[in-house]
Structure 1
């Protein structure tokens, strides 16, 4: 199977995909919100943001100074387009791998039976 159009190797790693998905749902997000939402360390998130920023997928804005410094992040239009294309490519992969026939029914649980009379007797025996 060939890789569908729009699949983005830069976005695909799970941490970057999580960052971009989170940012796609908002205009701007605080660094601390992203970090806490994804359970990442400051350094791990900084590295991923830097990679995405270098690719032109997001913009980082720092305001204030010292302990009051806030870092805000947003997807650029290029980043949003790349994310949407990647999601479409992932959907194409999933749909292409889907079953062509009805799924098999799971085997019955050995402790269960479909006969209501047997079920009632089984339940009464355990009382």
Structure 2
């Protein structure tokens, strides 16, 4: 019997409400522009920057700066490790809920 590829593991870093929402927003996409993510979450630039820095420092997210139409843009993506951590965290939350029923 093989081990699951993303074992359930509660992750304190991801569990913070804003970071959990960031990961949930990034998980289904390859990347998203900073402004789109900020608007979708309804938070200030500074709040998003602070939480993204923590995810980047943990190697859960990657930030890329690029130019488009002569303007500077920033896009954000989950790393492979970040996706694994997020999926494991969601699995752990589901397991907690299932054990309560």
User: How does the TM-score come out when normalised to structure 1?
Assistant: 0.71
2:62 maps to 59
The structure with the greater share of residues assigned to strand is 2
Greater C-alpha Rg: 1
SS at the partner of 1:64? strand
Say if 2:40 is the partner of 1:48.
Answer: no
Give the one of 5, 9, 15 matched to 1:6.
Answer: 9
SS at the partner of 1:7? coil
The structure with the greater share of residues assigned to helix is 2
User: How does the TM-score come out when normalised to structure 2?
Assistant: 0.88
Partners of 1:92 and 1:8 in 2: CA distance: 14
Provide the alpha-carbon RMSD of the alignment: 1.7
Give the one of 81, 86, 94 matched to 2:84.
Answer: 81
1:69 to partner: Cα distance: 1.1
Partners of 1:69 and 1:40 in 2: CA distance: 21
Give the one of 38, 41, 60 matched to 1:35.
Answer: 38
Count how many residue pairs are aligned between Structure 1 and Structure 2.
94
Structure 1 stretches of 4+ with a deviation exceeding 6 A read none
